[in-house]
Amino acid sequence: MLIRILFVCHGNICRSPMAEFMMKDRVHKAGCGEKFLIASAATTTEELGNDMYPNAKEELRKHGIPFERRQARQLRHGEYESWDYIVAMDRENLADIAELLGPDTECKVRLLLSFAGEKRDVSDPWYTRDFAAAYRDISLGCEAILKEVLRVNSRAEG
């Protein structure tokens, strides 16, 4: 069974693509990459078609996280059924996701750091210019997601 995770932020050029590539790297290193479909999207149209922000790429390079050229895309109405987990970077994203997708009837939509037991947003480097802080937040959240997903999946298979 394929586990489908979509990371979502405002423009899909900083936090959500960082999370996408960090999670892809994490599941690959855990030896279970073939069990996952991981992607990212924006809640707005502001950055559509743009590649990941250069400072976000640089932060991933610092940590040896592989990435590829990509284009920002917007979350589309009707996409709710395509994903098992829709992971927002902040509370504003949660509100925008609800507006784009409608009610979260299957409890698929969550804040990234809620997986780590934290009730806060991922630091937004577009405004703070602190890509290292965003990396730390995203890393914490991705590690927690992987643990939860593997635990839930092993119970479902067992």
47-67, pLDDT tens digit by residue? 999 999 999 999 999 999 999
15, 26, 121, 142: which is the annotated catalytic residue?
15
| 104 flagged as catalytic | no
Please give the backbone phi and psi of residue 43, each rounded to the nearest 5 degrees, phi first: -95, -15
9, 96, 137, 142: which is the annotated catalytic residue?
9
The pTM is what?
Answer: 0.96
Percent of the chain with pLDDT over 90: 92
Which residues form the domain of 61? 3-157
Percent of the chain with pLDDT over 70: 97
- HSE (side-chain half, CA atoms, 13 Å) at 127: 5
| 15 flagged as catalytic | yes
90, 124, 137, 142: which is the annotated catalytic residue?
124
- 32 Cβ partners below 8 Å, 6+ apart? 150
| Angular region, 122: left φ>0, alpha ψ -120 to 50, beta rest | beta
pLDDT tens-digit map of 126-146 = 999 999 999 999 999 999 999
Identify the pLDDT of residue 158: 59
| 9 flagged as catalytic | yes
Identify the pLDDT of residue 73: 98
CATH number for the domain harbouring residue 66:
3.40.50.2300
Q: Distance between the two ends of the chain, CA-based, in angstroms?
A: 13
- How many structural domains are present in the chain? 1
